[in-house]
Structures are given as C-alpha cells and as structure tokens.
Amino acid sequence: MKIRLNWGTSIVIAIVLFMAFILSFVYKTIFIDKYEHHLVSEDYYKEELHYQDEIDKINNANLLIKNVSISNSKKGILIKFPENLNYENISGTISFLRRSNHQLDFEIKIELTSHSIIIEDKLLVAGKWEIKIDWKNNDEEYLLKESWFY
C-alpha cells in the first residue's frame, strides 16, 4: 500500500508540527523550574523614578581623585575606599547581585575599621556578580556599579 500526500495535507502536517514545537517551549518556560524566569527587580518602575539620583551619585564618584577599587584576594573580594577620605565618616551598603540566580543575592552594610573591607569567600559563589556600592561620606553620596568575576 502506497501512501500519497497532496500539498494541502503536507501544509497541515507542517503547521501542526510547528505548533507542537512552539508549545513545547511554552510548556518548558512555564512549568519547569530549571527555566525559571524573573524580573531583575520586583519594583522596577519604582526604581526607575530614582535613576537620576543614581546618575548624580556616579558622577560624584567619578569626580573623586581616586574611586573605590575592587580586587580578588585569597579570602574573598577586597573593596578599598579612597584613602584621602576619613573612613570613619563612610557609610552605606554593598549589594551583590547574581543575574543567573537571584537567591544568591545579598547586601552588606558598610562598617569600616580601615579603608578596606573584605567580602568573605563563604558568601560568594564563583562566577559573574553585579556589585553595587552605594556609599556616603559626610553629606556627599557616591555610587559604583561594576560587573565582577570571582
């Protein structure tokens, strides 16, 4: 017995196969946790209103003689603040964001005993981090955003 398909039946079969292909991706993205999708920020629109403040803080940081520096060390990530500023007047937060897994995100309050702070190895997972250092010296506010591989 010979099966013969005309062009109309072939087009219908192709459309059905294409729809099944697309629906398999829809199923994977909705129901399988491996393909988790989430927003970078839950309060995206609220944060957008404060974006000009961030630009001003970044510009302030760029005007410094020496900005905050980040480097890897044996104990973790070493963050050095400018030595021409009094470290006792520096306050703020350091945020670590992991784009691949938001459950690894964490934030540390800046409490300095010298011009540097070490983020310990036990808090970090190897890979790319988005580091955001939002700090203040006296009444002047500064911001450093950097992608960093640990």
Higher-confidence residue: 51 or 18? 18
Phi-psi region of 27 (alpha: psi -120 to 50; beta: other; left: phi over 0): alpha
State the amino acid at position 101 in one-letter form.
N
Local confidence band at 28 (pLDDT 50, 70, 90 cut-offs): confident
Local confidence band at 35 (pLDDT 50, 70, 90 cut-offs): low
Q: What is the pLDDT of residue 31?
A: 82
- Burial (Cβ within 10 Å: 0-12, 13-18, ≥19) of residue 119: buried
Domain 44-149 has CATH 2.60.40.10: yes
In this prediction, residues 3-22 reach a mean pLDDT of 92
Backbone angles phi, psi at 42, to 5 degrees: -70, -30
- Which among 137, 125, 56 has a CA at the least distance from the CA of 97? 125
Beta strand segments in 32-139, E: 69-72, 76-80, 90-97, 106-109, 116-120, 128-137
Average pLDDT over the chain reads 88
The pTM (predicted TM-score) of the whole model is 0.68
Q: Is the predicted pLDDT of residue 131 greater than 90, yes or no?
A: yes
Torsion angle of C-alpha atoms 115, 77, 96, 122, degrees rounded to 10? -120
In this prediction, residues 38-64 reach a mean pLDDT of 81
